[in-house]
Amino acid sequence: MAQAAIAPPKRTTDYVARMGGVPLAWLGVLPFFIFAVMFLILPSLSLFTGSFTDAKGGFTLDNVLGLTRQDIVDAYVLSIQISVVTAIVGGIFGFFIAYALVMTGVPSALRTSLVTFCGVASNFAGVPLAFAFVAALGRTGFITEFMRDTLHFNIYDHGFNLYSFLGLSLTYLYFQFPLMVLVMMPALEGLRREWREASENLGANGFQYWRYIALPILTPSILGTMILLFGNAFGAYATAYALTGGRLQLVAIQIGAQIRGDVLHNPGLGYAMGFGMVVIMALSILAYTLLQRRAARWLQ
Amino acid sequence: MSFLELSNIRKQFSNVATPAVQDFNLKVEKGEFVSFLGPSGCGKTTTLRMIAGFEHPTSGSIVINGKNVIGVPANKRKIGMVFQSYALFPNMTVADNIGFGLRVAKRPKAEIEPRVAEMLKLIHLSDKGKRYPAQLSGGQQQRVALARALAIKPELLLLDEPLSALDAKIRVSLRNEIRAIQRQTGVTAIYVTHDQEEAMSLSDRIVVMSDGRMEQVGTPFEIYNFPQTQFVASFVGTLNQVQARVVDPSAGTLEVEGQPIVAAKAFDARKGETIAVALRPEMMSLDGKTQDDAVNRLVVTVEETTFLGSIVRTRARLRESVISFDTFNNPNLALPQRGEKITVAFPREAILLLKPSNAATENLL
Amino acid sequence: MKRSTFWGLFWVTLAALYLFVPLWGAFDFSLRAERDVIGVAAYTRAFADDDFWRTFIFSNQMALISIVASILLIVPTAYWVQLKLPQLRPAVEFITLLPFVIPAIILVFGYIKLYSSDIALGPITLLPPLTNSDFSTNILLVAGYVTLALPYMYRSVDNGLRAMDIRTLTEAAQSLGAGWFTIMFRIIMPNLRAALLSGALLTFAIVVGELTLATFLGRPAFGPYLQQLGQHKAYEPAALSVVSFLLTWLAMVLIYFVTRGSNAQVTGAH
Ligand SMILES: Nc1ncnc2c1ncn2[C@@H]1O[C@H](COP(=O)(O)OP(=O)(O)OP(=O)(O)O)[C@@H](O)[C@H]1O
Ligand SMILES: [Mg+2]
Smallest Cα–Cα separation from C217: which of C164, C139, C146?
C139
Nearest chain B Cα distance for residue A293, angstroms: 13
Tell me: the pLDDT tens digits for C1-50?
577 788 889 999 999 999 999 999 889 888 888 888 888 888 999 999 99
Return the closest-CA partner of residue B208 out of B189, B186, B234, B182.
B234
The reply to whether ligand 1 has any atom less than 6 angstroms from the CB of B152 is: no
Taking contacts as CB-CB distances below 8 angstroms, the residues of chain A near B77 are 201
> Which residues neighbour C64 within 8 Å (Cβ) at sequence distance 6 or greater?
none
Look at residues B156, B155, B177, B157 and name the one whose alpha carbon lies nearest to residue B166. Answer: B177
pLDDT digits (tens, 9 = 90+) for C198-239: 889 889 988 988 999 999 999 999 999 999 998 888 889 999
pLDDT reported for residue C234: 85
Which segments in chain B show pLDDT lower than 50?
Answer: 359-365
Domain assignment present for residue C158? The answer is: yes
Under 8 Å CB-to-CB from C241, ≥6 apart: which residues? A127, A128, A129, A131, A132, A135, C26, C30, C226
Chains C and A contact (Cβ–Cβ under 8 Å for 3 or more pairs): yes
Ligand 1, atom nearest to B11 Cα: 12
Neighbours of B43 (CB within 10 A): 23
Name which of B69, B10, B28, B91 is nearest B217 in CA terms. B28
CB B175 within 8 A of CB B163: yes
Number of domains in chain C: 1
Residues 6+ apart with CB under 8 A from C137: C130, C131, C217, C218, C219
Considering the domain boundaries, does residue C34 fall inside one? no
Using a CB-CB distance cutoff of 8 angstroms, which residues of chain A are in contact with residue C109? 43, 47, 255, 259, 270-271, 274
pLDDT digits (tens, 9 = 90+) for C116-164: 887 766 677 777 788 778 888 999 999 999 999 999 899 889 888 988 8
Ligand 1 centroid to residue B13 C-alpha, Å: 9
Half-sphere exposure of B32 (CA within 13 A, CB side): 19
The predicted pLDDT at position C117 comes to: 80
Contacts of C66 in chain A (CB under 8 A): none
CA distance B144 to B122: 10
* CA B160 from centroid of its chain's CA atoms: 13
Nearest residue, CB atoms, A117 vs list C19, C95, C106: C19
User: How far apart (Å, rounded) are the C-alpha atoms in residues C158 and C91?
Assistant: 14
* Contact B50 CB / ligand 1 (< 6 Å): no
Q: Is B330 in the pocket of ligand 1 (CB under 6 A)?
A: no
- Please state the atom number of ligand 1 nearest to the C-alpha of residue B55: 1
B10, B14, B45, B49: residue to mutate for ligand 1 pocket, most atoms within 8 A of CB: B45
* CB proximity A195 to B under 8 Å: yes
Ligand 1 atom having least distance to the Cα of B13 = 4
Q: Do chains B and C touch (3 or more CB pairs under 8 A)?
A: no
Name the residue at shortest CA distance from atom 3 of ligand 1.
B13
* pLDDT score recorded for residue C265: 33
pLDDT of residue C179: 82
Ligand 1 atom nearest residue B42's Cα? 21
CB C109 within 8 A of CB C99: no
| Chain A residues closer than 8 Å to C23 by CB | 132
Which of B62, B55, B70, B45 shows the shortest CA–CA distance to B159?
Answer: B45
The 10s digit of each residue's pLDDT in B7-39 is 999 999 988 889 999 999 999 999 999 999 999
Ligand 1 atom 29: the closest Cα is on which residue?
B41
Interchain pair B100, A204: CB under 8 A: yes
Determine the 3-state secondary structure of B328 from DSSP.
strand
3-state secondary structure of C73: helix
For the ranges A12-16, B101-105, C181-185, C226-230, the lowest mean pLDDT is seen at A12-16
Q: Which long-range contacts (CB under 8 A, 24 or more apart) does B323-327 make?
A: B323/B240, B323/B242, B323/B279, B323/B281, B323/B284, B323/B298, B324/B238, B324/B240, B324/B281, B325/B240, B325/B281, B325/B282, B325/B284, B325/B285, B326/B281, B326/B282, B327/B285, B327/B286
Range in A79-88, C55-64, C245-254 the model is least confident about: C245-254
pLDDT given at position B288: 55
Nearest Cα residue in chain A from B152: A202
Pick the residue of A193, A201, A293, A300 with the most B CBs within 10 A to test the interface with B by mutation. Answer: A201
All residues with CB under 5 Å from ion ligand 2: B 45
Q: Would you give the DSSP letter of residue B17?
A: S
Phi then psi for residue A51, to 5 deg, are -65, -20
- At residue B360, the pLDDT reads 44
Of the residues B69, B102, B104, the best mutation for testing chain A's interface (the one with the most A CB atoms within 10 Å of its CB) is B104
Q: How many CB pairs under 8 A join A and C?
A: 265
Closest ligand 1 atom, residue B194 Cα: 25
A257 touches chain C (CB under 8 A): no
pLDDT tens per residue, range A109-163:
888 889 988 988 888 888 999 999 998 888 888 888 888 888 888 888 888 888 8
CA C196 from chain centre, in angstroms, equals 12
- The DSSP secondary-structure symbol of B63 reads E
Q: Give the range of the structural domain holding residue C191, as residue numbers without chain letter.
A: 50-258
- Considering only CB atoms, A174 lies closest to which of C22, C104, C115, namely C22
Cβ–ligand 1 distance for B210 under 6 Å, the answer no
pLDDT of A12 reads 42
Contact A133, A243 (CB under 8 A): yes
Question: One-letter amino acid identity for A237?
Answer: Y
The answer to whether the Cβ–Cβ distance between B148 and A300 falls below 8 Å is no
Q: Which ligand is nearest to the CA of B41?
A: 1
In a domain, C268, yes or no: no
C209 chain-A contacts, CB cut-off 8 A: 126-128
Ligand 1: residue of B9, B12, B13, B22 to mutate (most ligand atoms within 8 A of CB) is B13
- On chain C, the residues whose CB falls within 8 A of the CB of A285 are 97, 100-101
C77–A31 C-beta distance less than 8 A: yes
Say what the pLDDT of residue B183 is.
93
Cα–Cα distance for residue pair C102/C105, rounded to 1 Å:
8
In order, the DSSP letters of B111-140 are HHHHHHHHHHHHTT-GGGTTS-GGGS-HHH
Residues in B closer than 8 angstroms to A187, CB to CB, are: none
Structure confidence at residue A22 (pLDDT): 59
Alpha-carbon distance C105 to A236, whole Å? 8
Domain boundaries, chain A: 70-299
- State the pTM of this model: 0.82
Nearest atom in ligand 1 to the alpha carbon of residue B48 is 18
Nearest CA to ligand 1 atom 22: B45
Residue C270 lies in a domain: no
* Subunits with 3+ C-beta pairs closer than 8 A to A: B, C
Q: Which residue puts its alpha carbon closest to atom 19 of ligand 1? A: B41
CB–CB contact A203 B87 (8 Å): no
Residue C43 lies in a domain: no
Residue B42 Cα to ligand 2 midpoint, Å, equals: 8
Q: Chains near B, with 3+ CB pairs < 8 A?
A: A
At residue B217, the pLDDT reads: 95
Quick check: CB of B14 below 6 Å from ligand 1?
Answer: no
Confidence (pLDDT) at C252: 84
Name the E strands within chain B: 4-11, 21-28, 33-37, 59-64, 67-68, 79-82, 156-160, 188-193, 205-210, 213-218, 240-248, 253-256, 259-262, 274-279, 285-286, 296-307, 311-317, 322-328, 341-346, 351-354
Q: Do A39 and C147 touch (CB under 8 A)?
A: yes
Domain membership of residue C139 (yes or no) is yes
Which CATH number belongs to the domain containing residue C151 in this structure? 1.10.3720.10
Q: Does B44 contact ligand 1 (Cβ within 6 A)?
A: yes
Three-class secondary structure of residue B229 per DSSP: strand
pLDDT at C146: 96
- In this structure, is residue C227 part of a structural domain? yes
User: Residue B46: CB within 6 Å of ligand 1?
Assistant: yes
How far apart are alpha carbons C200 and C213 in whole angstroms? 19
Q: Nearest by CB to A36, which of C11, C80, C95? A: C95
Q: Is there a domain that residue C140 lies in?
A: yes
Q: Supply the residue whose CA is at minimum distance from atom 17 of ligand 1.
A: B45
Which residue type sits at C172?
A
Question: For residue A4, what pLDDT is reported?
Answer: 39
| Domain A70-299 superfamily per CATH | MetI-like (1.10.3720.10)
